[in-house]
Amino acid sequence: MERSLFRIAFLLLALASIVNTVHGQGSRVGFYRRTCPRAESIVRSAVESHVKSDRTLAAGLLRMHFHDCFVQGCDASVLIAGAGTERTAPPNLGLRGYEVIDDAKAKVEAACPGVVSCADILALAARDSVVLSGGLSWQVPTGRRDGRVSQASDVNNLPAPFDSVDVQKQKFAAKGLNTQDLVTLVGGHTIGTTACQFFSNRLYNFTSNGPDSSIDASFLPQLQALCPQNSGVSNRVALDTTSQNRFDTSYYANLRNGRGILLSDQALWNDASTKTFVRRYLGLRGLLGLKFNVEFGKSMVKMSNIELKTGSDGEIRKICSAFN
């Protein structure tokens, strides 16, 4: 009896999987196994070539995927060029790596015309960037289609560098992501830089008593030298001053030591609901540890499935920067 019930359950799950595939509900690992078997290796090769020439592009590609997913879902709408597109919105003006995606797309098109979406190429490139920076790999579900809408006016709910933890949690929850996902994905700040304009308010007149008191006193002069008062707003500062090009947990150690750069980052240590996860990634005694590298991949898969366009929804662009 139990064996029969197991077989029925298995058949129902298999049928559901087939239905989902036919109707485009959800992505899956190996989507291009038959239609473009070399797709992932082509993207990986293109990303590797560019990142070897400029290691900072890894953080750029990771951030671009994040910005794409939080607006209209992971549909490559952030890649569209032109007046009034997402790319032109203030939060996206600092995005980098468009040329990497264009290069990967051109090479994939040469091998498999009209098959692989720009949205999938961006998701794969983000994963490959993490791996090239020393992080663990993960399997990226594919099968996304590219969106047909890209408007700067839609870029109004991206997590911002001045957000409180409550606001960050609200923005992530709106996308189906929980508090652990928040702490995990923001850990992507272990690579990359930011401009002084996004945190210099913490360094001088943050309160009537002067700088933000949560900044380590020995670290403050270093930041003030990098971001002089009333000048240097475009100067770049590593988000993880310990190892800005290596994907590791030093970002979380910086938060513990009062060396988080963005106000929104340091807030993760100062709020009890997020501090628990930071401490677990650091493996602090008395807490059940979490493996950041492993959990990051899980949260990335979860994020990359936000508001998917699959099946007959959307399109497969010929060029990533323009609609068909």
Q: Please indicate whether residue 67 is annotated as part of the active site.
A: yes
Task: Please calculate the CA angle 202-280-63 and round it to the nearest 5 degrees.
Answer: 55
Instruction: Please report, for residues 132, 193, 246, 259, the alpha-carbon distance to residue 242 in angstroms, rounded to integers and kept in the order given.
Output: 18, 12, 9, 10
Q: Which of the residues 23, 50, 65, 67 is marked catalytic?
A: 67
* The residue type at 117: S
Strands 236-238 and 193-195, how do they pair? antiparallel
Strand partners, 210: 207
Strand partners, 194: 237
| DSSP per-residue string spanning 163-188 | --HHHHHHHHHTTT--HHHHHHHHGG
| φ/ψ (deg, to 5) at 322 | -145, 145
**Torsion, Cα of 158, 162, 164, 166 (10° steps):** -10
Give me the active site residues, please: 67
